[in-house]
């Protein structure tokens, strides 16, 4: 993602936020539907070896800040999930597969989507938790005392924006759906927060 010019990346902000894109001409402004799932990847720096002192370039660690700094804070704030993927050691390549199988994960996702389809049956414009806003979002992702306290601490410590707060709620609601839980609980909020908290390589 940082290989694109910053001005180009900034044009994604409106469609990511609103699901619409506006084409402006001299005599007209036309809105088009533009709902999409944005998946992006980035190396920690231009050479890709920021975490390896033996292979990193002479500009480390400043090169990482400069490189990822091409993605603005408001643009990063629009990503629901941010995950660091560490390099895989050669010794790990021969290890047996771990975790759930793809078929098991697909079944859980299908079940969670069915739950959301039922949840929004009375809202023709809504399909998933990602579409919920305002009072509806607060209603489907009501936090108990422990969960709300956790959100407050995270907001104070990491400067969670209002946009970030609502995105965490949506993700927590989805994690609860995947867990087969009717109520959003503290572990769901904690996991959702873990996908937004800045890592050592974030700009």
pLDDT tens track for 108-139: 999 999 999 999 999 998 999 999 999 999 99
Using the predicted structure, report yes or no on whether residue 37 has a pLDDT greater than 50: yes
Q: How confident is the model at residue 26 (pLDDT cuts 50, 70, 90)?
A: confident
Residues 48 and 126 in one domain: no
* pTM for this predicted structure: 0.85
Among 27-36, 43-52, 182-191, where is mean pLDDT lowest? 43-52
Q: State percent of the chain over pLDDT 90.
A: 60
In this structure, the answer to whether residues 106 and 52 fall within a common structural domain is no
Burial string for 81-96 (b: 16+ CB within 10 Å, else e) reads eeeeeeeeeeeeeeee
Same domain, 126 and 185: yes
Whether residue 59 is found in the same domain as residue 107:
no
Are the C-beta atoms of 6 and 70 separated by less than 8 Å? yes
- Does 61 sit behind a cis peptide bond, omega within 30 degrees of 0 on the bond before it? yes
Domain total in the chain: 2
* 122 lies in the same domain as 54: no
| Containing structural domain, residue 114 | 102-194
């Amino acid at each position: 993602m940082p290989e694109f010019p910053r001005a180009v990346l900034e044009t994604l902000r409106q469609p990511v936020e609103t699901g619409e894109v506006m084409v402006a001409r001299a005599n007209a402004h036309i809105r088009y539907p533009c709902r999409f799932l944005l998946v992006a990847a980035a190396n920690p720096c231009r050479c890709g070896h920021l975490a390896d002192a033996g292979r990193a370039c002479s500009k480390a660690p400043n090169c990482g800040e400069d490189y990822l700094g091409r993605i603005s804070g408001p643009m990063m704030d629009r990503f629901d999930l941010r995950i660091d993927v560490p390099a895989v050691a050669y010794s790990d390549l021969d290890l047996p597969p771990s975790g759930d199988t793809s078929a098991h994960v697909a079944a859980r996702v299908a079940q969670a989507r069915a739950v959301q389809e039922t949840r929004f049956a009375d809202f023709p414009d809504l399909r998933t938790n990602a579409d919920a806003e305002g009072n509806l979002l607060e209603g489907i992702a009501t936090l108990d005392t422990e969960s709300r306290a956790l959100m407050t601490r995270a907001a104070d410590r990491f400067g969670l924006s209002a946009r970030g707060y609502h995105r965490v709620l949506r993700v927590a609601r989805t994690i609860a759906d995947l867990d087969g839980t009717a109520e959003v609980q503290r572990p769901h909020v904690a996991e959702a927060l873990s996908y937004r908290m800045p890592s050592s390589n974030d700009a």
